[in-house]
C-alpha cells in the first residue's frame, strides 16, 4: 500500500500528516521525511496518524529514533490522531509514557 505524507513547516514545529499503513515496507518513506527534520533539531515534530490504519513495530521504532534525536536538541515529538487500536500499541510498549501521544488532532 502506498503511504501518503504531507508536511508543513511552521515557526516552531513541523506538521506531518500520514495516511495509509505504516509497516516494514512503507516506513522508509516516512523516515526520508523525518530524518532531515530531526537532524536539523530546531523544531518540534507533530505527526498526525489520524488516517493511518495500521502500525507495526517498524513504525514504532522510527518514532523512538525520532524522539531520541529530538531530545538531544531539547525538542519534542507529538503523535496525534491515533486510533484506539494504535493507542493500545503505545500503551503496551510503554511508549505513551515517553512521548506525547494524543487521540485528538490538537496538542493538549
Q: What is the CATH number of the domain that holds 77?
A: 3.30.750.24
The chain-wide mean pLDDT, for the chain, equals 93
In this prediction the pTM is 0.93
Residue 108 lies in a domain: no
Structural domain total, the chain: 1
Residue 40 lies in a domain: yes
Report pLDDT digits (tens) over 17-44: 999 999 999 999 999 999 999 999 899 9
Whether the Cβ atoms of residue 20 and residue 53 lie closer than 8 Å to each other: yes
> CA-CA distance, 64 to 68, in Å (whole number)?
6
Residue 11 phi/psi, 5-degree rounding, is: -60, -40
Radius of gyration of the chain (CA): 12
Residue 21 lies in a domain: yes
Residue 107 lies in a domain: no
Residue 66 lies in a domain: yes
Amino acid at each position: 500500500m502506498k503511504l501518503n505524507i504531507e508536511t508543513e513547516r511552521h515557526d516552531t514545529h513541523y506538521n506531518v500528516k500520514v495516511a495509509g499503513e505504516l509497516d516494514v515496507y512503507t516506513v522508509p518513506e516516512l523516515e526520508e521525511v523525518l530524518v532531515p527534520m530531526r537532524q536539523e533539531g530546531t523544531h518540534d515534530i507533530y505527526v498526525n496518524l489520524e488516517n493511518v490504519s495500521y502500525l507495526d513495530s517498524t513504525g514504532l521504532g522510527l518514532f523512538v529514533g525520532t524522539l531520541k534525536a529530538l531530545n538531544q536538541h531539547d525538542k519534542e515529538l507529538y503523535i496525534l490522531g491515533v486510533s484506539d487500536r494504535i493507542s493500545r500499541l503505545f500503551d503496551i510498549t510503554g511508549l505513551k509514557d515517553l512521548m506525547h501521544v494524543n487521540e485528538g488532532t490538537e496538542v493538549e
